[in-house]
Structure 1
Amino acid sequence: MTFNDGMQLNTDGVSTSSGGGGLGPGGMMLGGGGGLIVLVIALLFGVNPGNITSGLTGGNNSSQSGAAPDISMCKTGADANRNVNCRVVATANSVNTVWSVELPKQTGVQYVPPKVRLFTGSVSTGGCGTATSAVGPFYCPADRTAYFDTGFFQELKDRFGGSNNPLAQEYVVAHEFGHHVQNLLGDSNRASRDPKGPQSGSVRMELQADCYAGIWAGRADKQAAPGSNQPFLQPITQAQLQDALSAAAAVGDDRIQKAATGRVNPESWTHGSSDERQKWFMVGYKTSNVKMCDTFSVPDVSNPPAVG
């Protein structure tokens, strides 16, 4: 989706950092009050590091670090259209705008925006341990922060075969904000009770975040931005929608497993298949209805509600 050029961006709540080293993919850290062990990969966007570690030995890996991402130029929608860091900022603004209306209207729960951290190399979280660029974008419920190394977007295309076009990138951001919505609704602990398998709580949690990302996509070109009479984003096209679906498919457990090992093992799934991720995104996109995204109530997550 293309941002309206004149929209003013708000970088409040967005921070940047850089680092090197830290835990590798799948590392565990002691974090949070009471010494709760947090398995960082359970919070990730769609990459199961246990399945793809061998595919992340180059490019954007944990040994690399550099300057912190620069967001000083992120002022308008035009900046978001030409700069990936600004695109994350603008997408965060747009997602916050949509959920600030939809969440209280549909659930009675007030929406409180998450913090956003753009990083390179590695990053220390406020309760979910230390993560590296190799793990991809993730959300930490403990500090209510969504973390992004924008180098992942190129990984999405080069290593996983997804689209690197704007709406694909924006879908990634909206998915992580979907985990924040789950946190606000008190659902963030449901995945840990049932962490693996094709019908597991973890899969249902991730597919619900995909559905919430779809709600954003369905409303983003309609909901006016604060202080404006127009939305952040121009109307979505079918080609752009396919970019988002391509990104959703690229990080399906089945596709990642097939690429990494040549076979598919549903019993180890944590995020759902490519087909399921696309289907649930479209449920949110077509209905804009939080209740329709209740992945925990369907007998089989591969058969979401029919939405026309």
Structure 2
Amino acid sequence: MTFNEGMQIDTSTTRSSGGGGGGGRGIAVGGGLGGLIIVVVALFLGVDPSTMGAGPGESQGVQTPGFDLSQCRTGADANNIVECRVVATGNSVDAVWSQLLPDYTRPTVRLFQDNVETQCGPATEAVGPFYCPPDQTAYFDVDFFQTLKTEFGSSGGPLAQEYVVAHEFGHHVQDLQGTLVNAQRDPTGPEGGGVRTELQADCYAGIWAHYASITKQEGTGQPFLEPLTDNDIADALSAAASVGDDRIQEKTQGRVSPEAWTHGSAAGRQYWFTEGYRTGDVNACDTFAAQDLHQ
């Protein structure tokens, strides 16, 4: 998916940092590619999942400078620089949800490298992208996108990356709606609260894709993105399937254990993204009432 080169990137709600930071507080809730995915990414990177982050109060060194956000100015920058693509995608998702939800407020976006301090506690790059409700921030280490391709088998197209951003923003929407807490109720199992929460975030990512090329940016009057192609949708579906619990379990342990699912099957994740994209209807994303999660 290509950004219109004339759109202007707003970095006012984005922060960037390198490694470093100290301890945290609160409880980690609602990681978009977290839960089982967090553990698997840690294993891929040779990290013991039990030691992914420093404990509360433990220092991880002095914070180093992060990505220079001044490089992100236009849609052309978003098309060429992955960090700018994350920020610009967030701008687009904000614009879509601002039209759909009257009380929508923008989350903060945090780009980081190596490790980061959050109000959910410290995290390393092993965690992958995640959303932290206490500070209403979506966190992205863009190196994860390469891991998504090389270790999970996702395509490397732009919409595969943009799907991840829209999914994390979907958790922010759930936080605003008060439904994110459902992730902690019956958090495992193929029909548990964790799976239903993640599938709804996938559906919300599909809703963003439905409106992305027709939502115009205030100030420029231009749509954020050009119309989606079949290849764009294939990229998003590839990313959704690659992080299905069944695909990950098969790859890492050689068998599928549905009772341990936290995010949903590859088929379920693809179905709910497609449902959001097909309908553009928030009501169509009520995974908590669905009798069939298409697993």
2:129 pairs with one of 118, 121, 137: 137
Q: Distance in 1 between matches of 2:21 and 2:118?
A: 14
2:33 pairs with one of 16, 35, 45: 45
Which runs of at least 4 in structure 1 moved beyond 4 Å after TM superposition?
20-23
For the aligned residue pairs, the C-alpha RMSD in angstroms reads 2.1
Give TM-score, length-normalised by structure 2: 0.90
Q: Which amino acid aligns with 1:48?
A: I
Q: Which amino acid aligns with 1:267?
A: E
Q: Distance in 2 between matches of 1:22 and 1:208?
A: 33
Q: Distance in 1 between matches of 2:193 and 2:249?
A: 19
Paired residue secondary structure (1:124): strand
- Alpha-carbon displacement from aligned partner over 1:46-87 (angstroms, at most 9, x marks no partner): 5523345432228xx989x97512222100000000000000
| Closer/same/farther in 2, CA of residues 203 and 20 from structure 1, 3 Å limit | same
Q: Which amino acid aligns with 1:117?
A: R
Q: Distance in 1 between matches of 2:21 and 2:126?
A: 11
2:106 pairs with one of 94, 104, 113: 113
- The more displaced of 294-303 and 262-271 is 294-303
- Alpha-carbon displacement from aligned partner over 1:77-110 (angstroms, at most 9, x marks no partner): 0000000000011001100010000122xxxxx1
Give TM-score, length-normalised by structure 1: 0.87
Cα offset for 1:248?
A: 0.4
| Closer/same/farther in 2, CA of residues 66 and 153 from structure 1, 3 Å limit | farther
Q: Which residue of 2 aligns with 1:57?
A: 46
May I ask how many residue pairs the two structures share in their alignment?
283
CA contact (8 A) 1:21 1:121 kept: no
Name structure 1 gaps, 5 residues minimum.
Answer: 24-28, 33-37, 105-109, 304-308
Q: Distance in 2 between matches of 1:49 and 1:86?
A: 24
| Closer/same/farther in 2, CA of residues 120 and 298 from structure 1, 3 Å limit | same
Q: Which residue of 1 aligns with 2:292?
A: 300
Paired residue secondary structure (1:81): helix
Identity of matched residues, %? 57
- Residue 252 (1) aligns with residue 244 (2): yes
2:77 pairs with one of 73, 76, 79: 79
- Residue 99 (1) aligns with residue 88 (2): no
Name structure 2 gaps, 5 residues minimum.
Answer: 54-59
| Closer/same/farther in 2, CA of residues 75 and 50 from structure 1, 3 Å limit | closer
Q: Which residue of 2 aligns with 1:166?
A: 158
- Alpha-carbon displacement from aligned partner over 1:27-52 (angstroms, at most 9, x marks no partner): xx7x33xxxxx246x52425523345
Q: Which residue of 2 aligns with 1:26?
A: none
